[in-house]
Amino acid sequence: MQLKPYARTLAIALSLAFVAGCSSTGGGQDGDLTRGAGGTDRGGVSTGTADGRGIDGVRDGRDGQRAAADDRIPQTRTIYFEYDSDAIRNEFEPVLTAHARFLRANPSASVVLQGHTDERGTREYNLALGERRADAVESYLNVQGVSPSQVEVVSYGEERPAARGQNEQAYAQNRRVVFAY
Amino acid sequence: MKHLMTAWLLGCLLLASQLAQANLTIEITRGSDRATPIAIVPFADGDDLPQDIAQIVSDDLQRSGYFEPLERRAMFERPSSSEEVRYGDWSALDVRYLVAGRISREGDNYNIRYELMNISGERRMLGETVTSGGQGLRDAAHYISDQVFEAITDIRGAFSTRIAYVTSSGIGPDTQYALHVSDADGRNSQQILSSDEPIMSPAWSPDGGKLAYVSFETERPAIYIQDLSSGRRVRATSFEGLNSAPAWSPDGRRLAMALSKDGQPEIYVMDIAARDVRRVTNDASIDTEPAWSPDGRSLLFTSDRSGGPQIYRLELGSGEEERLTFTGNYNARARFAPDGEGIFLIHRGNSGYQVAHQDLDSGRLVALTDIGHAESPSVAPNGTMVIFATQQGGNGVLGGISADGRASFRLPAARGDVREPAWSPFLN
């Protein structure tokens, strides 16, 4: 998850191609997706995200010209949490403040806050806990003046671990919120 | 671009065909001390068959925890019909029941003649001929297991059922997720969906023809309903926020789910035909993991309104909610036993996350598994077994345990993680 923005854009494009070609059912009925009731926002959501990343990719390409600090996505894009907690740790407040400043300075930029938990406990309850962590970050950004329209929350619960293993070191790396631009 | 897509598609197909071979292999980890001794004699003229019918029947019965099959090397005679059974000899081996049979070929089909004998009563209990093509031999064996199990226990057998489960392999952005359906013994696995984004929460429709599940393939969670025979599917929900934990009502018309579109996760019930959702819980905490009562009148769900996760029951008619679990500070993802008199759930006890059973009358909670890391219990349609996800050597594997906790087995995959098993309803 620490790819550079342009690499992420490429990865997204490839993964979209992969989804289009492959994440279909045994019968390959992808067309049914868009006809399914409630299935109205698939393209919109995916495209919106890809566009946001595309803009950042261009901006990243100008890094050599020493763009102003507010013009760059902050380097640190993952913050970590204590067990069974959605409290923002003091050490990560400067990270959130930097993201808030960037988002305020770039109203066209948007971020997806990806909430994660460690593997302990049930999967669906963990999905809810991951959302609670990402919500806590969103509230913090909103208090700092970031427009709610720039921020979206997606919880992955324990489904996308950053580290494997049944030990506190792995658990600590997995209890996180990732800023995905 | 077209060539690129074709290449992707080919890559996907190759991947799919490799993963499709991912059968799970049963390891019996503990037999029940109350299991009934039974002899499943190898069927006569079955040596050149692609499947060992008697072995499949024996494995089924042993896995149930109700039976302890006699080892083959202890069988000093091999009767193939009731006339050949010398009851005194088997009685001396402390065998209480015996299954014998003979297989004959007729064109492309096999006729499997089997009989069940009560040894102490010195009588035949069951006799039948099953006809099967070569592809259906395992199904025929599971059918025989069902008949033998019911004749002796008076409980309908659930060996001819299936399980759905999720696999993942890899770590980080390269993780691949897949949804599979296999026979209840882990064989005949078929991959029905693959994605590089998470797949969660498979749930069977009560007729066994469809699966609802959560897929993140659009990088947002959405609930899909997929028809298993045609592969066709629809997206049922893609609201803002969580779209999770789908559960079919017993009449198959409604889907309970957890959505966070109005703030924190709440339980909703969707009318599948009309596609409208109705919110049924309302409080400032997490409500998720709904499960229907067998009569369709109430829902179990997990809520942390008391601080930590506990199980609650909601009467849909009156809207009344009642807390059910009070033992310990973590009880989650409950499922009703088919008779509605008890629930199976995940309980955090002294040795971590365990599968537990709580009797609804007495409120008494009993842990069934002794190792930690248990998740996602799913009850067999006859209520005799619970399948769940656990860990073995750092990998996710499926475990099974008899409803009384006495017998257990594991179903490891050749590679990768296996999790979120969902036991199908009766299919025949």
* Rounded Cα–Cα distance for residues B384 and B102 (Å): 30
A149/B contact by beta carbon, under 8 A: no
Region B367-371 average pLDDT = 88
Question: 3-state class of B409 per DSSP?
Answer: strand
Say whether A17 and B235 touch across the interface (CB within 8 A).
Answer: no
Asked whether B113 and B129 are in contact (CB, 8 A), the reply is: yes
Which chain B residues have a beta carbon less than 8 Å from that of A125?
286, 288-289, 302, 304, 309, 332-333
Percent over 70 (pLDDT), chain B: 95
Pairing relationship of beta strands B321-323 and B331-336 according to DSSP bridges? unpaired
Q: Can you give the residue ranges of every domain in chain B?
A: 2-27+162-423, 32-153
Check pLDDT > 80 for residue B149: yes
CATH number of B2-27+162-423: 2.120.10.30
Question: What is the DSSP code (8-state) at residue B413?
Answer: B
Q: What is the pLDDT of residues B72-87, one digit of tens each?
A: 999 999 999 999 999 9
Q: Mean pLDDT across the stretch B146-159?
A: 98
Rounded distance between C-alpha atoms, residue B92 and residue B110, angstroms: 34
Chain segment A91-107, per-residue pLDDT in tens: 999 999 999 999 999 99
Residues of B within 8 A of A31 (CB-CB) are: none
Q: What is the mean pLDDT of chain B?
A: 92
Q: For residue B388, give the chain A residue with the closest CA.
A: A122
Interval B335-354 mean pLDDT: 95
- Quote the DSSP letter at residue B15: H
Q: Pick from A147, A29, A161: which is nearest to B419 by CA?
A: A161
**Into which CATH architecture does domain B32-153 fall?**
3-Layer(aba) Sandwich (3.40)
**pLDDT at position A55:** 35
User: What pLDDT score was predicted for residue A82?
Assistant: 96
- Cβ of residue A66 closer than 8 Å to a chain B Cβ: no
pLDDT band at B22 (very low <50, low <70, confident <90, very high): low
Nearest by Cα to B422 from B249, B255, B203? B203
**pTM here?**
0.85
Q: How confident is residue B10, by pLDDT bands cut at 50, 70 and 90?
A: very low
Locate the chain A residue with the closest alpha carbon to B333: A122
Rounded to two decimals, the ipTM of the complex is 0.91
pLDDT band at B351 (very low <50, low <70, confident <90, very high): confident
Q: Does A166 contact B at CB distance below 8 Å? A: yes
Indicate the average pLDDT of chain A. 73
Name chain B contacts of A30, Cβ cutoff 8 Å. Answer: none
Residue B172 distance to chain A (closest CA, Å): 6
Which of A8, A42, A159 has the highest number of chain B CBs within 10 A, making it the mutation to test binding with B? A159
As a whole number of angstroms, the distance between CA B169 and CA B417 comes to 6
Interchain contact, A17 vs B5, CB within 8 Å: yes
CA angle B422, B426, B427 (to 5 degrees): 100
Taking only the tens place, the pLDDT of each residue in B261-314 is 999 999 999 999 999 999 999 999 999 999 999 999 999 999 999 999 999 999
Q: Chain B closest CA to A34's CA: distance in Å? A: 8
pLDDT tens digits for B103-115? 999 999 999 999 9
Q: Does A20 touch chain B (CB under 8 A)?
A: yes
CB neighbours (10 Å) of residue B120?
Answer: 11
Question: Among candidates A84, A100, A101, which has minimal Cα distance to A137?
Answer: A100
| 3-class state of residue B369 by DSSP | coil
B6-35: burial string, b at 16+ Cβ within 10 Å, e else: eebbeebeebbeebeebbbebeeeebbeeb
- Tally of residues, chain A: 181
Backbone dihedral region of B223: left (phi > 0), alpha (psi from -120 to 50 degrees) or beta?
A: beta
Q: How confident is the model at residue B61 (pLDDT cuts 50, 70, 90)?
A: very high
Q: Name the burial class of residue B106, with classes exposed (0-12), middle (13-18) and buried (19+) by CB atoms within 10 angstroms of its CB.
A: exposed
- Contact list, A33 vs chain B (CB under 8 Å): 233-235
pLDDT at B47 over 60: yes
Q: Measured between CB atoms, which of B173, B195, B330 is closest to A19?
A: B195
pLDDT of residue B220: 97
pLDDT category, B411, cuts 50, 70, 90?
Answer: confident
Strand pairing class (A111-116; A151-157): parallel
Q: For position B7, what pLDDT does the model report? A: 43
pLDDT tens column, B206-265: 999 999 999 999 999 999 999 999 999 999 999 999 999 999 999 999 999 999 999 999
Banded model confidence at residue B1, pLDDT cuts 50, 70, 90: very low
In a mutagenesis test of the B interface, which of A123, A129, A164 is the best target, namely the one with the most B β-carbons within 10 Å?
A: A123
**Three-class DSSP category at A104:** helix
Cross-chain residue pair A17–B330, CB shorter than 8 Å: no
- pLDDT for residue A66: 39
What residue type is assigned to position A161 of the chain? P
Q: Do residues A74 and A114 make contact, with C-beta atoms less than 8 angstroms apart?
A: no
